Amino acid sequence: MQPKVFISHSTKDKAIADAICHQLESEGIKCWIAPRDIEPGSKWTEAIMHGIEKCRAFILVVSANANDSEHVQREVAKAFSLKLAVIPFRCEAAIPNRSLGYFLQTVQWLNAVDPPLQKHLDVLAERVKQLPAGEPAPLPAATAIIPDRKTQPKQLALSKRVFWFGGVSLVAAAIVIATAV
């Protein structure tokens, strides 16, 4: 069973991330969470990126610790680039820094600052259940994302030459017509 939800968190917020994971999985929603789902011996960042790509939703544990984590910021950027459903779960009265705020300013947060935590976990589980079913969109081929740098400047130079010769030809034709009249 493919995971539906990726849980992004600072390692310092592991307890809240584990509570979210437990709640969702107890309701039949498969989650991907580090370090549990990283295979022994695999590269950490590759495993994280692969985990995000397999999911359809992305839950971010919003905290001061998340603000300080460069890994969390990269995970959020990846989730938005894949157009995943992003649900910020704000577990403390922390405002996202500029890097996180850039992405999160367009999404409604689930404010879980006030106790009890369980009521917020229930709301989160219901929200995730409401997300559309299906598989994540396939990723485009790497060649479509990364242009060939060797040919790109030549193509640009060629198009500039064609444009320049076309302009000179039009001016020459206008001069010929004007002198013929």
Q: pLDDT tens-digit profile of 69-103? A: 999 999 999 999 999 999 999 999 999 999 999 99
| Distance from the Cα of residue 16 to its chain's centroid | 22
Q: Check if CATH label 3.40.50.10140 holds for domain 5-130.
A: yes
* Rounded distance between C-alpha atoms, residue 31 and residue 33, angstroms: 6
Short-list 78, 39, 27, CA closest to 55: 78
Cα first-last separation, the chain = 79
Give the Cβ contact number of residue 45 at 10 Å: 11
Q: What are phi and psi of 7, to 5 degrees?
A: -105, 110
Q: pLDDT tens-digit profile of 32-73? A: 999 999 999 999 999 999 999 999 999 999 999 999 999 999
**Which DSSP string corresponds to 51-64?**
HHHH-SEEEEEESH
**Ranges of each domain in the chain:** 5-130, 147-180
Q: pLDDT tens-digit profile of 97-144? A: 999 999 999 999 999 999 999 999 999 999 999 988 754 444 333 323
Least confident of 6-15, 35-44, 48-57, 155-164: 155-164
Confidence band (pLDDT; 50, 70, 90) for 171? low
